[in-house]
Structure 1
Amino acid sequence: MGDEQRDAASRRPTMRDVARAAGVSSTAVSFVLNDREGARIAPETRARILAAAERLGFRPNLTARQLRLQQTQSIGMLTDGIASSPFAGQIIRAVQDAAWESGRLVLLVNTDGHTDVGRSAVRELLDRRVDGLIFASTVTRELAPLPELAAVPSVLINCFPAADGPQLPAVYPAEHAGGGLAAQRLIDAGHREIVYLAGDGDWPALQRTAAFRERMQDARLPVDAGAVVPGPYTIDSGYERARSILQRPDRPTALLCGNDRIALGALLAAQALGLTVPEDLSLVGYDDQEELAGSVHPRLTTVSLPFYELGRQGAETLLSVIAGEPVAARREVVGELVERDSVAAPRHP
């Protein structure tokens, strides 16, 4: 092996090496490997260049490409806890998938809800000249985005901006529509006495409760003072509320639950009282929580929170903003009714 060959083997291959191996000019190699439009390169020449690049293990100079495009091909992502959440982590997976498909990497920072950490993280990501930023919330809510997010294209996922803050594009669940799906499933099964074990007053609970009331009124069913019983999103709370309600002489034939944990508590309460689900009592949950809704007996009918789709649409929205394309200010993503085994027609319609 000559000195020139040894030098080429010991260093990173360049476009000049590819040109020499393919028997073409460096300009032709640049046109092909940078995928420049308008270059008139014969198909057989293009194939020869690509084959030479593959054989030599050529990798493009990303720094030069970034300088030319004025982009670092990276996205910064901030979360307030999703990185440690077992099922909302699907948002991160979807963002990574969409970014990878576009040739970008994701730089992730979990702030654990600390504003000072969030501000420092944004500064660090901006110093690394990310092409855009995503903030993803653990809980669907209204928030005041960090003003620093306005410095680059930014998108919110699973939350939406307050009226007095930066109006960033937002992608979040259609909670009202999802609540309507859950309530309608019980109404369609023939239930007339339905009690809603709601969440504890956060934005999703308010939206789902409003949908429950509307669907009941549309069906001309009564919604009295005891038809909605709010409380924490916990198994214990579901158990205590359901046990109290199910011991009434006029107990309902169905319980609509603010999430799957509440529904599990209600299921345990029904079983403790000697009731069977769905024969004596129908249950509908919410979230389609991994390793819960489909694992209990009977398996829970529920409404999914579309976390993966939230992440994908959020990332695609950001990529559109980076490209200078118009996007919707807000986009709601509807979950799906997941039919399982916890709903049946009432025994006494």
Structure 2
Amino acid sequence: MRVEDFDFHLPEELIAQTPLLDRTASRLMVVNPDSLALEHHKFGHILDELNEGDCLVLNDTRVLPARLMGEKEGTGAHIELLLLKQTKDDEWETLVKPAKRVKVGTVVTFGNGLLTATCTGELDHGGRTFNFKYDGIFYEILDQLGEMPLPPYIREKLDDQDRYQTVFAKERGSAAAPTAGLHFTEDLLEAIKAKGVKVVFITLHVGLGTFRPVSVDSIEEHDMHSEFYSVSEEAAATIQGVKDAGGKVISVGTTSTRTLETVARDNKGKIVASQGWTNIFIFPGFDYKAIDGLITNFHLPKSTLVMLVSALASKDSIMHAYEKAVEEKYRFFSFGDAMFIRPKK
């Protein structure tokens, strides 16, 4: 299967640059996987799509203010660091701009010396590893000095940094938000629980590989990035209990989906408590074992995320839905509108 099969025309103006004031005011396209039929609603309609005995699974990762602006010691040159992955206590893999100015041994200072970083290695993708030195608690300093790492497609400044966090964000570690979760408010989640739907939280720390384009012609040749996930005993028992009772498991976002399908793949279709690293790549032909339905945003052409949703419905139904989304001027990507792929009958 070729990457070009997942291409479509997306006018740049449809990539949402700012979030809506009301999280639930976004639009919701409902896709019926058994046909090409589409429905158009506001996101609050998702309450009507969920039934007593179902399970809604959300990713409770918290985005780090991972973009740091500093100066190269000795020259004062401007250096930008983007934290990607913590490899040991105070060592991180990063992306650097401009990378050519940073060699092993280079020292970068931030906040007038509140934080310093020494380059300890060069990575294959052009990134660097840094060892950080500071007084106090690293994450408190990061909250003080760092900026939210908005995707490269968003060029507008985000005035309210919390708007790039879900209302249930808890576990620090992501370089990007699990954006399907941005549509939920605490009130909506309470209404969903009141309906008898189990609301469960799992964790997958989103890496910037999420935005990495597929650079091969055949999707089977693409290597996915690895991301850390964790499913607790309580979460696993609830999800498996719903499945055993015949309820539907509705995943919120591609990150929750990749986590659940990793666990099910590794445990003969069962959801059990586990944690580790996953590089699962889901595309048409994949046999879903964990989820029945999916709430997701509208993704970019030729992305692995479009491939994932095409595997749950069908390539034809998703490409049709995306064609209609462009025609109806739905908002795309992180701050955009949502799609719900209903469980198959």
Fold in common (TM above 0.5) = no
Higher helix share: 1
Higher relative contact order (CA 8 A, sep 6+): 2
Larger radius of gyration: 1
* Normalised TM-score (structure 2): 0.31
* Normalised TM-score (structure 1): 0.30
